[in-house]
Structure formats: C-alpha cells, structure tokens
Structure 1
Amino acid sequence: MSAPHPQSAPRRSKGDRTRARILDAATALFSRSGFHAVSLRDIAAHAGLTHAGLLHHFPGKEALLTQVLSRWDAEDAARLFPPDASGDPTERLMRLVYVVARNAHTPGLVGLYAKLSGEASDPEHPAHDYFVERYRLLRERTTVLFARLFAEHEPPLPHDPASVAQQLLALMDGLQTQWLLEPAAVDMQASVRAYLTELGLALPPTPWTGEPAPGPSPAPGGAGAPGAG
C-alpha cells in the first residue's frame, strides 16, 4: 500500500484571492504615496478591479487601511510571538531587533503607523480601537518575553518586565518618529541594541540583508495580531 499523500493546504476561494490582491495593491500604494494621497479608485485600478468591485470587499478606505496594518502586524507576530510562547527567548529578541532593522527599509508603512497612531488617540478615529488593542497586546507579549529573559539570565536580572516592555515600545516609537524626520541622523537598530545592552541583554549582530528573518513562515494575514514597531 502506498503512503498517503500529505494533506495540502486548503485552496483559497476566489473572494479570498481577490481580497489578498486588493490588500497587496493598497499596501504598495499606501507605502509609496501615503494614506491621504491614495484613493479607492487608485487601489482598485492597481488591483485590476473596478471601483464597485473593490467596494464589494471593503466598505471604505479606513477599513482597508486597518486590514493592511493588521496583515503586516500578523506577519511579524508569527515570528515574534508564537501562540504557546515557546522558543528560545534570546532568539525571539533577536528577531525583534531584526524587525526594527527591516522597518528602516519600509518608510511608507512606518510613516503610516507613526501618523495614524497619533491621530487614533481620538476615540472617534476609525483606527482607535485597532491601536488600543495593538498596544495592549504588544505590552502583554513583550512583558512575557522579558520575564523569561530576565529570569533565565545568569545571574537573574532585577528589572521589572512590564516597565521594560513599555519603555522599549516607547523607545521604538520615538526612534521611528526621529528617523522619519531625519533618517541619516538616526540608527534605530543601534539605539535599540544599546538600550538592551544597558539592561544586560547584549545580542550578537543580526545585520539586515533584505531577506526574511529565520524562523516560522509568516502567517498569511489576519486581524488583531500585533507586530513589533
């Protein structure tokens, strides 16, 4: 008897493939031109659809933007925050630093995050709930990561994991704003590494190569999973 064929991944429906194509087009255009300079008609044309065809899948530009951000976050979360919190914590911290380096090569999306996260402090903003949940999950998951790192260090480090997680997120956001204003004056990865070294968490170099960081394949998309920066 021949061995059974391995189960193949389920095929995506036509609607799923169309939504993915729209998100790809929106990501490319938002990154290149920013949120306000891009219209739904621009995105539809880039995706090879009519305006009405795009509206069949997304009710408006704000909803589309939230999905673009969520998908980008989900791809990072698949590497940084396994659902069971497994994996070597030092390796996961290295992946976080790698994401910081990657962000220096995606100024369009970094700029969108910086601008929208500030605008979304208004409870009436369409992305308010998204960013509230994003930062809540980032704080929680990064706290768990630092708790493991501090406990497993020899000798154990005395820092408060929750405070360090909040400080690191603030550092990363502040660096991104400074980098957007004056890229040549700010090395985001070096600054994050320096902060971690001061905590006693020195890491080996992980230079940006333009290739995906080692580890699990990124998730195909989804909402609500936070990335790292």
Structure 2
Amino acid sequence: MTERQRGGRAVKAEARREAILDATMAEIAERGYRGTTLAAVAERVGLTQPGLLHHFPSKEHLLIGVLDARDRWDAAALLANSTDVRLSHLEQIVEFNADRPGVVQTFTALAAESATGQHPAREFFTERYASVRVGMAELLRAELGDRLAGGLTPEQAAPLLIAVIDGIQIQWLLAPDEVDMPAAFRNFLALLTAMTPSEHPTA
C-alpha cells in the first residue's frame, strides 16, 4: 500500500469516527445516556455493530469519544471570537451546555462512574480534570491576579470553580425548571470577582 493510499484510508477512518460521534450525539439527544445503545448508533450511521466496535471497542469508549469531542467544541467556542479567553467566556460554555442536556447527562454519569474501580473512563477524567485545573488557574491568575477573594491563590480556587460548574449541572439535570444553570453560574462569578485583590483584608 502506498503512502497516499494509507493517508486516504486514515482520512476515511477519521471521517467515519466523526460520523459515529455525530450519530451518538443524536441518539443521546433523543434517548438519553442510558437509552443510547451501540446497535442504535450503528444503525443510524449505516454500520453493523461489529463495524462500529472496530472504531470504538465498547459503549464506554464511544461515550468517552463524545466527551472528548465536546471538549474540543467547547475550546473552539471559547476561541471563536477572541484568543483572549476571560472568565466571562465560561458563561458562554455554560449556556451552550444548557442546550444539550444529553451530553451533560453523559458527562455527569461517566464522571461519577469513573471514580469507581477500573472504569474505562477513569484515565480520561483523571487527565481531563488535571488539565482543566491548570487551565482554570491560569485563567484566574490572568484576570484576577495572584490573590483572589479570601486570599486564595488561583491554584486553590481552580478546583472550586470546576466544582461549581459540575455541581450546578447536576442540580440543573435534576430540576431544570427550578435551576437556571447559566444564571446560577453568573451569580457565582459575581461573587468570585466582587472583591478585587486590593480589597483583600490584611492579616
């Protein structure tokens, strides 16, 4: 097989993977996380189930692929208008997630399951949260400086920011009519940024 042929096959394989992820997203939107099956995804994308498993060896691996794609879409959304990402841009991501409850449900369920035993998603979430903590700390430092409200460092505040985002998602999934996810996150940002570094009380 020539290099050109191998390149063509790689492009086709990547296109097929993207089509599978799109089909999975559609299934999740219609049936929810637990109702999504490999057979339904395979039928939607025009594959046999063994053909689907060639690209994603299990349902968990398929859903991890969806979450990885979600992160790439989120990053693209953040950088769509500017390379200067600010805390206010996180509001856009929260609003974006409010329009795709199926993906949020998948993320939440897999994140919880990944903390138990040798779950296929454990490595994905461990690495993801480590990376997100670093990114959030950099974002907080760039916008609010080395000391935040209460004297916290950006590294100390980063896990709290992530916890708020994930925690609001759970409450919203359970009571979407009672919890306005974007508004709740905006309220948290208002609290976080209300006290500038110069206003921190001295010891």
TM-score interval for Structure 1 and Structure 2 normalised by the shorter chain: 0.7 to 0.9
Contact 2:78 2:93 in 1 (8 A): no
Residue identity matched to 1:168:
L
Q: What's the RMSD between the two structures over aligned residues?
A: 2.7
Aligned equivalents of 2:194, 2:128: Cα separation in 1 = 25
Q: In 2 relative to 1, CA 144–16 (structure 1 residues): closer, same or farther, beyond 3 Å?
A: same
User: Counterpart of 2:83?
Assistant: 87
Residue identity matched to 1:87:
T
| 1:54 and 2:47 matched | no
TM-score by length of 2: 0.81
| 1:81 positional shift | 7.3
Residue identity matched to 1:193:
R
Aligned equivalents of 2:161, 2:79: Cα separation in 1 = 16
Residue identity matched to 1:36:
R
| 1:167 and 2:160 matched | yes
The correspondence for 1:17, drawn from 12, 15, 18, is 15
| 1:38 positional shift | 2.2
Task: Using CA pairs under 8 Å that are at least 6 residues apart, name the structure with larger relative contact order, 1 or 2.
Answer: 1
Aligned equivalents of 1:136, 1:34: Cα separation in 2 = 28
Contact 1:19 1:57 in 2 (8 A): yes
User: Counterpart of 2:110?
Assistant: 116
The answer for unaligned runs of 5 or more in structure 2 is 1-6, 196-203
Q: In 2 relative to 1, CA 144–57 (structure 1 residues): closer, same or farther, beyond 3 Å?
A: same
Contact 1:150 1:159 in 2 (8 A): no
| 1:152 positional shift | 9.6
Aligned equivalents of 1:150, 1:62: Cα separation in 2 = 38
| 1:32 positional shift | 2.4
Q: Superposed, which structure 2 residues align to 1:67-216 within 5 Å?
A: 67-80=65-78, 87-89=83-85, 92-151=86-145, 159-200=152-193
Q: Secondary structure in 2 aligned to 1:184?
A: coil
Aligned equivalents of 2:36, 2:146: Cα separation in 1 = 48
Aligned equivalents of 1:17, 1:29: Cα separation in 2 = 18
Q: In 2 relative to 1, CA 43–190 (structure 1 residues): closer, same or farther, beyond 3 Å?
A: same
Identity between Structure 1 and Structure 2 (%): 39
Q: Secondary structure in 2 aligned to 1:123?
A: coil
| 1:102 positional shift | 1.3
User: Counterpart of 1:224?
Assistant: none
Contact 1:179 1:188 in 2 (8 A): yes
Aligned equivalents of 2:79, 2:135: Cα separation in 1 = 7
Contact 2:32 2:102 in 1 (8 A): yes
Q: In 2 relative to 1, CA 201–24 (structure 1 residues): closer, same or farther, beyond 3 Å?
A: farther
Q: List per-residue Cα deviations over 1:184-229 (Å, max 9, x = no partner).
A: 1111212221222122269xxxxxxxxxxxxxxxxxxxxxxxxxxx
Q: In 2 relative to 1, CA 50–174 (structure 1 residues): closer, same or farther, beyond 3 Å?
A: same
Q: Secondary structure in 1 aligned to 2:158?
A: helix
Aligned equivalents of 2:66, 2:20: Cα separation in 1 = 9
Contact 1:25 1:43 in 2 (8 A): yes
User: Counterpart of 1:205?
Assistant: none
| 1:33 and 2:41 matched | no
